[in-house]
Structure 1
Amino acid sequence: MDLRGTPCPLNFIRTQLALEKLASGEQLEVLLDAGEPDALVSAALQGDGAAAALVQEMQRQQQSDGSVRLLIIRA
């Protein structure tokens, strides 16, 4: 899911909604702008809230164009 250019917190909301539609063990790939969008979504998915409960594992990769790729495995 390409969310580059999507403002906060809409990028987080779209990520959470997409995760909710996945079955346990399925993967979601999200592309985000670096900086605040990456920090907000990553922190929310690793925190103590409802969104964090959806995440089994998350990998973060900096892309050559400056964006960030999150690979999220649904809990």
Structure 2
Amino acid sequence: MQEQSHDVALDITAETCPMTFVRTRLALDRMASGQVLRVTMKGDEPRRNVPRTAAEQGHQVLGMREGEGGVAELWLRRK
């Protein structure tokens, strides 16, 4: 996946669950509808939980890209 443009970037690589989604949700709550959030995360648990929980709350998962060292980037569009 190519990098997508985004309005806000959030790095949660140092966080552990449940704080990974708490920080993501706070960032999404501060954004306007339709804006895109790029989340940089590390670990299997955030890779599974952050996109799933965001989708359950009505946000659109635009895609995820795996990077080096176990880091992934996720793009979410605010509902």
Moved over 4 A (4+): none
Structure 2 residue runs without a partner (length 5+): 1-9
Q: Please name the residue that 1:17 is paired with.
A: 26
Cα distance in 1 for residues equivalent to 2:43 and 2:68: 11
Give the count of matched residue pairs: 70
Matched, 1:72 2:76: yes
Cα distance in 2 for residues equivalent to 1:56 and 1:40: 14
TM-score using structure 2 length = 0.78
Could you tell me whether the CA contact under 8 Å between 1:57 and 1:74 is conserved in 2?
Answer: no
Alignment map for 1:1-40 (pairs within 5 Å): 1-40=10-49
Provide Cα deviations, 1:7-52, integer angstroms capped at 9, x if missing partner: 10001001001101110111111011130121111221122xxxx2
**What amino acid maps onto 1:44 in structure 2?**
T
TM-score using structure 1 length = 0.81
Q: Percent identity?
A: 30
Structure 1 residue runs without a partner (length 5+): none
